[in-house]
Amino acid sequence: MTHDPQLNKHGELQHLLTIDGLPREIITSILDAAAPFTEVAEREVKKVPLLRGKSVFNLFFENSTRTRTTFEIAAKRLSADVINLNINTSSTTKGETLLDTVDNLAAMQADMFVVRHASSGAPHLIAQHLRNIGADHIRVVNAGDGRHAHPTQGLLDMYTIRHYKKDFANLTVAIVGDVLHSRVARSQIHALNILGVPEVRVVAPKTLLPNEVERMGVRVFNDMREGLRGVDVVMMLRLQNERMNGALLPSTQEYFKYYGLTPDKLDLAKPDAIVMHPGPMNRGVEIDSAVADGGQAVILPQVTFGIAVRMAVMSMLAGN
Amino acid sequence: MPTLPAAVELCQRLADLMRPHVTPATALVGIHTGGVWIAEWLHRELGLVQPLGSMNVSFYRDDYHQRGLQGGRKPSAIPFDVTDAHIIIVDDVLYTGRTIRAALNELFDYGRPAKVELAVLADRGGRELPIAATYCPHTLTLPAAQSLNLERTEDGSLEFTVVEK
């Protein structure tokens, strides 16, 4: 077996780059560790000293206010010093720029990089480079790379499912929408399979599914009504207009008609099914406001849990 | 091995030590896991009215990175106003004092108590910090290679065991 660059020689998590290939015990231990962090947010002093004196750099080569903010809050609640860098990627020498930036920040005694990049594999490249320059005490957390992975989103989704459904063993989960462009969907599918969810469905038009998506361990449905029948969890994806090249869809109105989550489509799922969305939502495109604001939606709890899960990941990486 | 009185008897003696000093306003905070068991019992025995608090001090320990999350997944819960309160921290065994140091740090993130005291079932020596219990019914000396653990049996009764590390 090839060495997983995320793990150190003791099999402990050193970087979080992707959920794909992570042992189940590590995922479970992150979810377990996140639970007590949820309570920190309810204190008068919303801070614990686990990362005191550590410098966490948020390296956002692609804009994302929400993800950056949740990482920033998580690091600050762990008492780390947080430095936000929004780095313009318009340069033609991206590779050089990226690693030059890393070298400079390593020289500033960084302890952790939280990396968001439009290119798949960028966080992996940084982790590899840190090892090559003998700076692999610096930890790397992938905050979303291209279409590849968004592991902390996948983990917070698993935390949310476990919170409401207690167990993964008997669940049917449907992931609905733009799977093709979605790193979130890839992280979710890997996590659900590793945690032993017996049936993972993807529901999307053929134009928004990657080739051979079945090989990821999912059942494919092109008809949303069929795909939602009897499910315990509905995970909606954002329609990524900004990533659309060419005419994959006739119109957003037509998309909503066939793939928007409306109350009548949700009625086909189990009565106690939960509705999740990674945000930001396009109301009236992939989700009806009546569902987004309804009693089955757990979209805002996802945001709250996301901070606890990111605190767990960062404190675990800093400790290993 | 030094003989150790039964945990249930120590609980009774601890309650007797505390009784003259508690008022209805006194609040107890148990440290997960053993301290919470004792605090639950003391809370009933002493007839306290403030809701019982509990702490998982893992996040404040100086050795979190070696030990990880002790006390399991239980979060801290302080269901009363810490500011100006008389608080007694409850733990099973007092050893190096590092857990209590962490508990004090955590407690002060909730507010500024008027007075904080410490109640433990047993003090086994080996302190590494200037910390002492206010109420302690039993002291003994154990070598560093042994640890003194409080366990709860299936019928809910408490029991001490000495374990070789």
Q: What string of pLDDT tens digits covers the 320 residues of chain A? A: 457 889 988 889 999 999 999 999 999 999 999 998 998 888 878 889 999 999 999 999 888 888 999 999 999 999 999 999 888 655 545 566 788 889 999 999 999 999 999 999 999 999 999 999 999 899 999 999 999 999 999 999 999 999 999 999 999 999 999 999 999 999 999 999 999 999 999 999 999 999 999 999 999 999 999 999 999 999 999 998 765 666 677 788 889 999 999 999 999 999 999 999 999 999 999 999 999 999 999 999 999 999 999 999 999 999 88
Residue-range definition of the domain harbouring residue A312: 24-150+304-319
- CA B156 to chain A, closest CA, distance in angstroms equals 25
Query: A9-36 burial by CB neighbour count: b if 16+ within 10 A, else e?
Result: eeeebbbbbbbbebeeebbebbbbbbbb
Tell whether A201 and A158 lie within a shared domain. Answer: yes
Chain B hits for A43, Cβ within 8 Å = 109-110
Tell whether A197 and A165 lie within a shared domain. Answer: yes
Q: Which helix (H) or strand (E) holds B43?
A: helix B34-45
Q: Which of B59, B73, B111 sits opposite A35 (nearest CB)?
A: B73
Cis upstream peptide for B20 (omega within 30°): no
A14 lies in a domain?
Answer: no
Tell whether A209 and A270 lie within a shared domain. Answer: yes
What residues of chain B, 86 to 145, have a C-beta less than 8 Å from chain A? 105-106, 109-111
Tell whether A234 and A251 lie within a shared domain. Answer: yes
Using the 8-state DSSP alphabet, how is residue B135 labeled? B
| Contact A43/B at CB under 8 A | yes
Tell whether A102 and A226 lie within a shared domain. Answer: no
- Contact between residue A191 and residue A168 where contact means Cβ atoms under 8 Å apart: no
Does the pTM exceed 0.95?
no
A9 lies in a domain?
Answer: no
Tell whether A120 and A64 lie within a shared domain. Answer: yes
Q: How far apart (Å, rounded) are the C-alpha atoms in residues B6 and B140?
A: 14
A16 lies in a domain?
Answer: no
Using the 8-state DSSP alphabet, how is residue B71 labeled? T
Q: Which of A32, A47, A315 sits opposite B109 (nearest CB)?
A: A47
Tell whether A294 and A155 lie within a shared domain. Answer: yes
Question: What is the number of structural domains in chain A?
Answer: 2
A18 lies in a domain?
Answer: no
Tell whether A85 and A166 lie within a shared domain. Answer: no
Tell whether A155 and A281 lie within a shared domain. Answer: yes
Q: Do B110 and A38 touch (CB under 8 A)?
A: no
Domains and CATH numbers, chain B: 7-164 (3.40.50.2020)
pLDDT (tens digit per residue) in B1-28 = 567 789 999 999 999 999 999 998 899 9
Q: How far apart (Å, rounded) are the C-alpha atoms in residues A146 and A153?
A: 14
Q: How far apart (Å, rounded) are the C-alpha atoms in residues A226 and A207?
A: 18
Q: In what order do the strands lie in the sheet with A233-236?
A: A219-221, A199-203, A172-176, A233-236, A274-276
Q: Which of A39, A304, A307 to mutate to test the interface with B (most CBs of B within 10 A)?
A: A39
Tell whether A230 and A276 lie within a shared domain. Answer: yes
* CATH code at position A70: 3.40.50.1370
Residues 6+ apart with CB under 8 A from A154: A19, A184, A187, A188, A190, A191
What pLDDT score was predicted for residue B68? 61
Tell whether A273 and A200 lie within a shared domain. Answer: yes
